[in-house]
Amino acid sequence: MASTEEIRSNLAEIVNEIAGIPVEDVQLDKSFTDDLDVDSLSMVEVVVAAEEKFDVKIPDDEVKNLKTVGDAVAFIERAQNG
């Protein structure tokens, strides 16, 4: 099972690829919209890429609850363990 840091690091690469945010800025306490300037459409792209990368399902209803990088990492961890 991937560690929290591995998930964060992989997610950072996805965010970098889609939104051009430097990987080192994608930390657990950062808000996607307020700190990283990831808008709602880029967030959809991040979610789809994350679903493929981590082999999990992230429903549309859930996406609005993923405010910070930490929220997303925690959701992916739960989904992988569930």
Partner 1 sequence: MITASTGSTYAGVLGIGSYRPRRIVPNSEILEQIDSSDEWIQTRSGIKERRWASDDETVLMMSVNAAKGALADSGIDPSEIGCVIVSTVTHLYQTPAIATQVAVAVGAPTAAAFDISAACAGFCYGVAMANDLVRGGSAKYVLAIGVERLSDITDRTDRSTAFIFADGAGAAIVGPTDEPGIGPVVWGSDGTQHQVISQRESWQEVFGNHNWPHLTMDGNPVFRWASFEMAKTAQQALDVAGVKAEQLDLFVPHQANMRITDAMRRALKLPEHVKVARDIERQGNTSAASIPLAITAMREAGEAKSGDLALIIGFGAGLVYAAQVIRLP
Q: Tokens representing 36?
A: 């990283």
Closest CA to 10 of 32, 33, 26, 29: 26
Cβ nearer to partner 1, comparing 18 with 74? 18
Q: Tokens representing 37?
A: 């300037």
As measured in angstroms, the least distance from the Cβ of 16 to partner 1 is 14
Q: Tokens representing 71?
A: 């929220």
Candidate segments 7-15, 23-31, 40-48, 69-77, binder of partner 1 by CB under 8 A: 40-48
- Look at residue 68 and give its three-state secondary structure: strand
Of residues 10-39, which lie at the interface with partner 1 (CB under 8 A)? 39
As measured in angstroms, the least distance from the Cβ of 70 to partner 1 is 21
